Chains A and B, each alone.
Chain A
Amino acid sequence: SQQGEEDPQALSIQEGENATMNCSYKTSINNLQWYRQNSGRGLVHLILIRSNEREKHSGRLRVTLDTSKKSSSLLITASRAADTASYFCATDAKTSYDKVIFGPGTSLSVIP
């Protein structure tokens, strides 16, 4: 399987705290993507990081990629109740053009 695990499976924090989610994968990749899903809805793209990049920022989001460890992390700083959602990483493998595989996701609850 191309995809590995995300941890934690569930995370509960207080508003204002930072949230960190991790993603591991198994194969060589072209890029890694992070998505957000509110309950019962489609996924929304957050950040795409290419295999030759190590870190990327977008507003309160910071993504890191370590290709030697085949892992990535998503940091949400100064969390808000509206950040409550499930977060998924997805990978584009080098050997399977256009085949995008998702991890199991992390369920984040931000308590006001």
Chain B
Amino acid sequence: DGGITQSPKYLFRKEGQNVTLSCEQNLNHDAMYWYRQDPGQGLRLIYYSQIVNDFQKGDIAEGYSVSREKKESFPLTVTSAQKNPTAFYLCASRRSSYNSPLHFGNGTRLTVT
């Protein structure tokens, strides 16, 4: 079955450490996205990528970095510069047409102490 896989489901890190969240899709989608969700809140866009080797900052990119070396993969690194990294992180993808919906993974819950 095609879909988006985020791993791990739960991640725990000590403050000051960088951590990388994985996102893989086998839907052959061109565009991929990373969102952050805080408790009881909506989704805020961190980064998105429309094509391999290219990506754009979203509304809250500070303290995060991404890469898009392969069409299937869009890992997100939460750096030690991110002041409040504890959150639920969601990855999504869609076909290149802007009138197509997003497909989401099941998220990674990151806790930094």
Contact = CB atoms under 8 A, between A and B. Distances in A.
B1 interface: no
B99 A30 contact: yes
Contacts, number: 70
B64 interface: no
Interface string B94-112: 0000111111111101000
Chain A interface size range: 20 to 34
B105 A100 contact: no
Nearest to A31: B99
Contact of B48 (A40, A43, A44, A99): A99
Interface of chain B: mostly helix, strand, loop or mixed: strand
B56 to A, nearest CB: 7
A42 B90 contact: yes
Interface residues of B, number: 30
A31 B90 contact: no
A73 to B, nearest CB: 17
B58 interface: yes
Interface in A81-102: 88, 90, 92, 97-102
Nearest to A43: B104
A55 B44 CA distance: 27
B103 A41 contact: no
